[in-house]
Amino acid sequence: MPFVEAKCTNCSAVLPVDSARDAWVCGYCGMPFIVEKAIQNFNITQNITADTVNIYTTKDYVIRGGVLAKYNGEAVDAVVPDGVVEIGKEAFKDCAGLRSVVLPNNVEIINEYAFMGCDRLQEIELKPGLKIIKAGAFFGCSALREVMLPEGLKTIEVNAFTGCASLERITIPDSVEKIGAQSYEGMNISAKNIFLKFNQGQWLLETQQYRKEQGLCQHCGNKFSRRGNQACVGCGQVKDY
């Protein structure tokens, strides 16, 4: 049989296929694909670095065609390797000991429930290449307190931060075009004490508790004057806590 290399059109895994067949089933994601198209995909990506195209497994990471499919590491502070362009669905799911994650510059998508149940995750470093945060990506990350979303991000899908009970502040860049319903449901806030303000080219999602701890005005989030009655420099309200 004339087996040649092909790239799955669903998960981007590289695998051998029978070029005489019309269709094939990916051995990694289980999805069928058209053989001719998968072979073309493989040929197109041959000029990309090996880390991006090839499937490889290290002690800590399983990476298929640039998609981080699974984190198997034990380190509490994870640094995702260069060459990864997507964080796969449920890639870090239920990594209970994970404390921090640093993503490389070329990650464009964080897929569904990628960090679901990482209840000790305190810090996630997101880079400007990120374009999409998919549904439930950080569902149940109850230790996250502050997230800075990078400039260039376009979409935050439904329930992206649902259940992040400690989350007090999110920086939302002006590049964001779509925020799904209930994206922040389950944060330790209520509708009356959540604030969205524009500051230095970015949207900030803050809570009353965060503003109080930072010594900011509860009404508009600006600083107080140090003179006289400590009136807010933004709205003029007097500090009342």
Q: Where in the chain do CATH 3.80.10.10 domains reside? A: 49-188
Token duo for residue 110: 């964080």
- pTM assigned to the model: 0.59
Contact 170, 184 (CB under 8 A): yes
Long-range contacts of 174-177 (CB under 8 A, 24+ apart): 174/198, 174/201, 174/202, 174/203, 175/151, 176/149, 176/203
The architecture of the domain spanning 49-188 is: Alpha-Beta Horseshoe (3.80)
Residues 48, 61: Cα–Cα separation, whole Å: 20
Classify burial at 111, counting beta carbons within 10 Å of its beta carbon; exposed 0-12, middle 13-18, buried 19 or more: buried
Q: For position 107, what pLDDT does the model report?
A: 95
The pLDDT value given to residue 20: 86
pLDDT reported for residue 119: 94
| CA distances for 166 relative to 32, 98, 127, 236, 241, angstroms | 42, 16, 22, 30, 21
Identify the pLDDT of residue 101: 96
What does the pLDDT profile of the chain (241 residues) look like in tens digits? 468 888 888 777 777 888 888 899 987 778 899 988 888 777 765 444 434 334 445 578 888 888 999 999 888 999 998 889 999 999 999 998 999 999 999 999 999 999 999 999 999 999 999 999 999 999 999 999 888 889 899 888 888 888 888 887 777 777 888 877 655 555 443 333 444 444 444 445 656 666 777 788 776 677 888 766 678 877 777 887 7
The confidence score (pLDDT) of residue 124 equals 95
Q: What share of the chain is helix, strand, coil (3-state, %, to 5)?
A: 10, 30, 60
Distance of CA 149 to the CA centre of its chain: 9
Query: Helix, strand, or coil here: 99?
Result: coil
Q: Which two tokens stand for residue 90?
A: 């449920």
Is 170:145 a contact under the CB 8 Å cutoff?
A: no
At residue 116, the pLDDT reads 96
Contact 206, 214 (CB under 8 A): no
